[in-house]
Amino acid sequence: MREAEQAGVLLQDKVIIVTGAGTGIGREIALQLASEGACIVVNDIGASLEGQQEQVAAADAVVAEIVARGGRAQANRSSVAEEAGAKNMVQQAMDVYGRLDAVVNNAGILRDGMFHKMTAEDFDAVVKVHLYGSFYLSRAAADPFRAQNGGSMVHMTSTAGLIGNIGQANYMAAKMGIAGLSRSIATDMERYGVRSNCVAPFADTRMTRSVPVAPGRAEAREARLKAMPASAVASLVGALISDDAKSVNGQIFGVRGGEVFVFNQPRPVRTIHHQGGWPMRKLGRMLPKFGSVFAPVSETGRNYMWEPVEE
């Protein structure tokens, strides 16, 4: 076993920005990374999902907890949904610690609703935080990463986007977009020693609990949530940032309690060919023959966690 592992400092002196780190998964990530020797910029805009004011000092509370444990951390309350906010986070890391080694794009909100009822405002708000937020911070971090020829980006995607869920068109679009964004970063930045990976987490958080559950399924969901602590997600994030995983790039991982899995990514699975191109009418009759390899229209909850309420 390496000396760093024996000392419990897998991420010694690495400077890491964690967004949405005031509560839930982000908070646990910040705490665990700090416990492994990292210097953390704890970003949280300060508002709860309901916009209540008790979350105003969330970032400061996490910083205080890290410092009380002997770690190093700085609070940041910029909005990830604004480019200037992302640049501010990176500048703060550079000013305080002199470098930046990793970013964790964790911040997120929910504005759920059936697609035929969803407003443009709710779609825009979710995409701005999740997808634009991930782009803004990753882009701001790209410059120091290139200059130092190294860095790691970890983005939170979701099985809601990768597989599907009811009433979350905005969230699904954003999370699937994050997977594409990460793949692009991995491709473009690999030459500079920068890697980019996604994590689809299963964990017991306020956002998870905000998803409606079918009557009679609450007890079963409670049992499953207790088996999926946020600490398991934090462990995977830290492992991906560590130097031990420096060969891991462009991948999508899932974590559910003690289970870690890798998602496959879209590739052709079957083809049909017609010399000179397919006539429209004939092709329409042929397309159903792909049926044996069609991806099912599925929901994450039904197959992986719990059955959602249908309207």
CATH entry 3.40.50.720 includes domain 3-267+299-304: yes
The two tokens of residue 246 are 């420096």
**Strand-by-strand arrangement of the 259-262 sheet:** 72-76, 39-43, 15-18, 102-105, 151-156, 194-202, 252-256, 259-262
Distance between CA atoms of residues 194 and 187, nearest Å:
9
Instruction: Give the span between the Cα atoms of 45 and 68, in whole angstroms.
Output: 22
CA-CA distance, 92 to 140, in Å (whole number)? 12
Identify whether 192 is a catalytic site residue.
no
Give the pLDDT confidence of 59-79 residue by residue, as tens digits: 999 999 999 999 999 999 999
List the end-to-end C-alpha distance of the chain, in Å, as a whole number: 54
pLDDT band at 304 (very low <50, low <70, confident <90, very high): low
Residue boundaries of the structural domains of the chain: 3-267+299-304
Burial of 68 (0-12, 13-18, 19+ CB in 10 A): exposed
Query: Would you tell me how many other CB atoms lie within 10 Å of the CB of residue 115?
Result: 12
For 192-210, what is the mean pLDDT? 81
Q: What's the pLDDT at 47?
A: 53
pLDDT at 204 over 80: no
At residue 54, what is the residue type?
E
d(CA 306, CA 301): 4
**pLDDT of residue 159 exceeding 80:** yes
Closest CA to 100 of 145, 158, 48, 51: 145
Rg of the chain over all Cα atoms, to the nearest angstrom? 21
Of 97, 171, 192, 304, which one is the catalytic site residue?
Answer: 171
The pLDDT value recorded for residue 57 is 78
Q: What angle do CA 181, 247, 142 make, to 5 degrees?
A: 40
Q: What is the pLDDT of residues 219-261, one digit of tens each?
A: 666 666 666 799 999 999 999 999 999 999 999 999 999 999 9
Q: What was the pLDDT predicted at 8? A: 59
Quick: pLDDT tens for 37-47: 999 999 999 85
Helices of type H across the chain: 3-7, 24-35, 58-68, 83-97, 120-127, 133-148, 159-162, 169-189, 206-209, 218-226, 230-241, 280-286, 300-304
Identify whether the C-beta of residue 85 lies closer than 8 Å to the C-beta of residue 134.
no
pTM of the model: 0.88
